[in-house]
Amino acid sequence: MLSFRALSALAALLVSLPAAAAQSPAAVFGIELAEPGTIGPRPVKPEDARRLGLASEALRREVAGRGLEPVDLTPQAAAIRRDAPFYKCEGCAEKIAQAAGAAYVVYGYVQRSAPQVLNLTVTITEAGSGKVLRGGQVVIQGDTDETWLHGVRSLVKNRLFAEPLPNRS
């Protein structure tokens, strides 16, 4: 992980950027569904696919409001399909982000631990080095649109863009 000094510098950079003037380009990938224990791809249920889309769009809006400007990943659609899921591939998200002109990478996944309990994990890395800058996890209790969206907002606010705690990094 990064040192306290590096986290402080990143936080200062993201907080001090004028919203309109200095947006940092970021590849914000769609949130994926992680299903441990399954072998091979499994079709995503329509309700889960819809909620993944809602959560992914909320993540894009939330990080855009905090100084990271999502880049258009449409030209990289074939590479995204080929390399996904990003929580398993080591460095492929960063390569796609660099090709899209992004300085940062934001990706995440939801893992169902019980029918009404989900874990949402999101990571922010540097596209050039792959260094993890920020990451966090939140437990979503309840499988509704609102609980998923609340989980995204909470994670962004309280983990990804929260000020570092003194003497803890």
Q: Give tens-digit pLDDT for 36-62.
A: 666 666 788 899 999 999 999 999 999
Distance CA 31, CA 91 (A): 17
Distance CA 68, CA 5 (A): 20
The answer to whether the beta carbons of residues 110 and 119 sit under 8 Å apart is: yes
Question: Which residues are registered as beta bridge partners of 120?
Answer: 110, 138
pTM, whole model, 2 decimals?
Answer: 0.81
Q: What is the DSSP letter of 164?
A: P
Distance CA 124, CA 14 (A): 13
Both tokens of 45, joined, read 């249920």
Distance CA 120, CA 126 (A): 20
User: What mean pLDDT, rounded, does the chain reach?
Assistant: 84
pLDDT of residue 76: 96
List domains and CATH numbers for the chain: 4-14+25-160 (3.40.50.10610)
pLDDT of residue 44: 83
pLDDT of residue 37: 63
pLDDT of residue 41: 64
Distance CA 48, CA 45 (A): 5
pLDDT of residue 16: 39
Distance CA 107, CA 121 (A): 8
**pLDDT < 70: residue spans in the chain:** 1-22, 36-41, 164-169
pLDDT of residue 21: 30
Distances (CA, A) of 40 to 72, 78, 142, 166: 29, 19, 27, 43
